[in-house]
Amino acid sequence: MTEDIKPLGMPKWGLAMTEGKVTGWLVAEGDAITAGQEILEIETSKIANVWESPHTGLLRRIVTAEGETVPVGALLGVVADAAVPDADLDAFVAAYRETQAAAVEAPPPEPRMIEVGGRPLRYLLAGEGTATPVLLIHGFGGDLTNWQLNQPALAEGRAVYAVDLPGHGGSAKDVAAPDVAGLAATLRGMLDALEIPRVHLAGHSLGGAIALQMALDQPARVASVSLVCSAGLGPEINMAYIEGFIAADKRKDMKTAVETLFADPSLVSRDMIDDLLKYKRLDGVLPALRAIAGAAFAGGQQSSVLAGRIGALPMPVQAIWGAADRIIPATHAAALPEEGRHVIASAGHMVHIENPAEVNRLIGTLLAAE
């Protein structure tokens, strides 16, 4: 009987998420819903986002009402066919609650450290399996948590690594080689140290240019490249943002800078700003950011434009862009052939946070094609 009843559990978006608040149901009890349909708005201390139903059927019960905050995994609602009697639903909800209460939450994966060229790099590993692993590379000023809405989804049956670039997150703040080629060499060293022979790459912004460089350096090692609002495809870069981010040492200035990353500035949470300010206060971060910006964006332009060399790459390459990107123009996607261009409406530079489902689907297509 229970296989006809499907639970909707509070999703876990990223490392730090332990609970989420239901800020709005987009469907009502009794509605027919389909897998992939946006049904729920959820807010965590880090981010607010829309959640898509994993199941198709009738939404028979709403268990967690709007405004309620519940732990990850807690029952939000129940999907079942009309034929399932109410008594069965009640029994299911009661049983689910019991197992939830008894379940000891598995400790979330902890980031690990690995030394490359004498300097520690921090990375987070999610998933396992025999399929070719994925390496996720964040952009300038970001860190591995930028992929918190993507990494778990991509980690079905394969290992997905998210790394902190040198000078970022928990990695060493003294950057040996701050240009795109140097950062690519460091990540190559990381793959060597982790004994990863072949890898799918997904890079955001500056991380995209690094992914492209890695693919050019070792084409046989790279199974596919997904470039998300990527650098490396044209000369333009919003230098006011880069400089504003480096200069911002107050909440207000940081908020102004970070809001340009999103099509919907309301996604910029207090915690996001706090975390960025905390990162920027660490010893060595400012010199690292200045060194990387100086090498990668010298004179207010991208130093490393690799667009002309993409045609020679043997592996599939795609560009995914937020149409409202105010950091790197979405027109740079034109560096790819038409079938490899995906411009997503109503999303900005952080398209992988603003529309994770679509970005995950697109990256997933290249992972599946291997």
Question: Which residues bind to other proteins, rule: CB under 8 A?
Answer: 170, 173, 249-251, 270, 278, 281-284
Give the 3-state secondary structure of residue 315: coil
- CB of residue 167 vs other proteins: minimum separation in angstroms? 12
Q: Which is nearer to other proteins, 105 or 174 (CB)?
A: 174
- CB of residue 103 vs other proteins: minimum separation in angstroms? 23
Q: Which is nearer to other proteins, 66 or 249 (CB)?
A: 249
Candidates 263, 243, 244; CA nearest to 255 is 244
Q: Which is nearer to other proteins, 270 or 309 (CB)?
A: 270
- CB of residue 238 vs other proteins: minimum separation in angstroms? 26
Biggest CA-to-CA distance, the chain: 69
On the 0-12 / 13-18 / 19+ scale of CB atoms within 10 A, 226 is buried
- CB of residue 291 vs other proteins: minimum separation in angstroms? 17
Per the DSSP assignment, residues forming a β-bridge with 158 are: 131
- CB of residue 70 vs other proteins: minimum separation in angstroms? 16
Q: Looking at 147-238, list the stretches that DSSP marks H as alpha helix, in order from N- to C-terminal side.
A: 151-154, 180-193, 206-217
Parallel, antiparallel, or unpaired for β 131-137 and 119-126? unpaired
- CB of residue 368 vs other proteins: minimum separation in angstroms? 35
Q: Which is nearer to other proteins, 112 or 270 (CB)?
A: 270
* 2/103 Cα distance (integer angstroms): 19
* 333/319 Cα distance (integer angstroms): 6
Q: Which is nearer to other proteins, 275 or 358 (CB)?
A: 275
* 233/190 Cα distance (integer angstroms): 25
Q: Which is nearer to other proteins, 127 or 170 (CB)?
A: 170
Q: Which is nearer to other proteins, 112 or 309 (CB)?
A: 112
User: Can you tell me which residue has the tokens 């592996």?
Assistant: 315
CA 2 to chain centre: 34
Q: Which is nearer to other proteins, 172 or 206 (CB)?
A: 172
- CB of residue 292 vs other proteins: minimum separation in angstroms? 18
Cβ contacts of 52 within 8 Å, gap of 6 or more: 35, 36, 37, 38, 39, 357
Candidates 193, 213, 187, 194; CA nearest to 302 is 213
- CB of residue 315 vs other proteins: minimum separation in angstroms? 36
On the 0-12 / 13-18 / 19+ scale of CB atoms within 10 A, 48 is middle
